[in-house]
Structure 1
Amino acid sequence: MKFVLQRNPPILSFRYQFQSGCSSINPQVICKSNSSKEEFMSKILDRRWTLINPDTKVHHIRVSSLQTQQHCGPLENFSFSNNPHPSLGENVKEWHNDQSSFYIVRDDLLHPLVNGNKARKLDALLPLVEDHLGTDVVTCGGCQSAHAAAVAVSCAERGLKAHLLLRGEQPQVLTGYNLISMLYGNVTYVPRSIYANREEMLSAHADSIAGSVICLDDLLEASFTDHNSVKSNFPNIEDGSPLNSKKIVIVNEGAGNAVALPDHILGKDQPLKIVVDAGTGTTAVGLGIGALCLGLPWEVTAVMLADTIEGYRKQEEHLISELCRCYDVPTTRSGLVNWVERRHPRKFGNVVKGEIEACQQIAQETGVLVDPIYTLAAWELATQLSLEERKGGAKVVMD
């Protein structure tokens, strides 16, 4: 069974006002634009996309409590089983919460090398770069950044050159996403003192490549205000610069300027608790905005991995403001996402005792591969919520 991300969904049934019509969700964002909700949603989705097939499989994970400890690590009291072909849509209501379980959206199957939510973000961003004649992309991330690796692979597949600024020193042995980044992109390791000022670092590196430079934020906004000449959105293109000169696009860490708007996974009337791990927090905010736009009874909870709750709330406000500026939608706003600490707090990037074993347990029992830095935290929270919601509560979905 697959969840189909609808690029041009039927929107005639949407209510006029851009707000949630469900009593279980407070309308955190209320648009006061004269344009209809239908026009707003059509404008968001009516663009060129990258993924040939955006279908996503959804698996159903059942959680069993163990009487005796059989595993070590954070999931030592649980075992799991996977149903890869569950009933979805409105039929999900036929299943009763007689056993703890949660659903998992398998975006990790979208691409063999590009992490699932990164594939969704780049699905909309890279066509913008191509449409505006970009030749190079500059971005940054940690040494094992899934975002940097995703940009490198996706750019290489489309004939674009990726320049990756990775925090810290080059490891003696290249592994994981660091190895992928090196194979597909041009990697530069940046001292942490310089990396601390990301905006200045990205701008300086883009300038050193020699060519016209523009930030993705500006490109995104220009794509909705200038439909006649894509060339004019790059600076210096009209002042005698060679037509074949490089056109460099700066992409923020984590591609934190894209919004994913998924459609109905488990039925439009089914209350869901969506669980997501949060690096930059972009995916969580995108899900929150998507639920609000479509009037879905979803509660989005994000496990904070790389910042404080104040930092994530600030990022949420920035992303909402960016969306509304691009689409000319005035808003009032508060929290769309429930930000929570991970079950086992620690410094981002460190792996603590038992986490590798927990990932091994999940892989062997369900066939789902999670990692100790990101997705294990979301799996732990989904497991916890599934226990709380087994008595007829909301369905839990890990994205």
Structure 2
Amino acid sequence: MIEFLMPSLGADMEAGTLIEWKKKPGDTVKRGDIIAEVETQKGLIEIEVFDEGIIGELLIPEGAKVPVGTALALINPSGIASEPEEEEKIPEKKPVALQPTEERILEPISLEKTEEIHTKASPFAKRIAFENQIDLSLIKGTGPEGAITKEDVEKTLAQRDITEKEKTQEVAVAPEKPGTVAESIRTAVAAAMSKSNREIPHYYLGKRIDMTNALTWLKEVNSKRTVKERLLPVVLLIKATAQSLTEFPDLNAIWDDGLQQKKDINIGFVVSLRSGGIIVPAIHQASLKNVDEIMEALNDIIPRARALKLRSSELSDSTVTITNIGDGGADTIFGVIYPPQVAIIGFGSISEQPFAQDGMLGIRSSIFVTLAGDHRATDGLTGSGFLVSLNKYLQNPESL
């Protein structure tokens, strides 16, 4: 049997709450399938499975708080399904005692004691029902063996709202606490950045890069496209970064009792949230994507990041981070490395600046690029070579 473990979704994550299983014993799974939803400080995250086989046993009940690295389920890679009765035993399975220093580990989400014991529903469904004062005994479940799912409760809640509106009565909804999501995410970021400042000896390098050729090429390419198909300058920055990392693989790495280079170049892209704070999803295998595929990835991942609907791999797979101020912002940004990564590249705002070229002074579109490196992993010579390579690719955008 293969143990499916609670993944780490960032250096700041110590545990997550298992909200809902998306698979059951006997189900066949393959790489990339969503097996569960887990609630963390960064929102509700879809957890992917990276092995193929048949679900043998679910070890953790819904609603339990689980430390990173805990076995959540067993997967049979041989393709032989477990006995059917195993599924019925799961709710009775006692949680395993884990890490005595953790508080309330594996405790189900608390509900009112007045809740009827015989009602069969997932903990998440019970929580929604309790918060919205819905009687579970009046709901017909559509889950396994008639169990009430969160979708059943949400459907009932929607129907109740419609009915009350038709009666011209106000819908009583508990007001959302302002800043709750933003505060949670800021807390998570603060933990990671504090760890970074404590443990990582940063060094910083900077280089001003002429973007005139790149923007001219981009304007010409976009003139032949529809508005929907047009590329933004940031895709050239991401692609040039990915290409340069192939030449300097020590920067595409993590530090874990030594330098560990990563084969795939998965670029974490900093996304600002409207409610406050940031989140850093990964653009997978950026070096293998062309500029159109990178643009497509951005159009997909940014809205989902702001809606806090990312997959576990998008939060945990980044091998290096890019932070980009965008037009009209600060000229220069000095990033803080996100552990266990060993580098972060900062791109300031593209602006018109005096620029000397071939002995002549003129006005050129330029950008100031910084590299923050982990001095345990690399040094200024490596970092400087990377910035020179980055400049080379941006001066020849057609090569991207």
Q: Same fold (TM over 0.5)?
A: no
Report which of the two structures shows the higher radius of gyration computed on alpha carbons: 2
Give the TM-score normalised by the residue count of structure 1.
0.25
Between 1 and 2, higher relative CO (CA 8 Å, sep ≥ 6) is seen in 1
Structure with the higher fraction of residues in strand conformation: 2
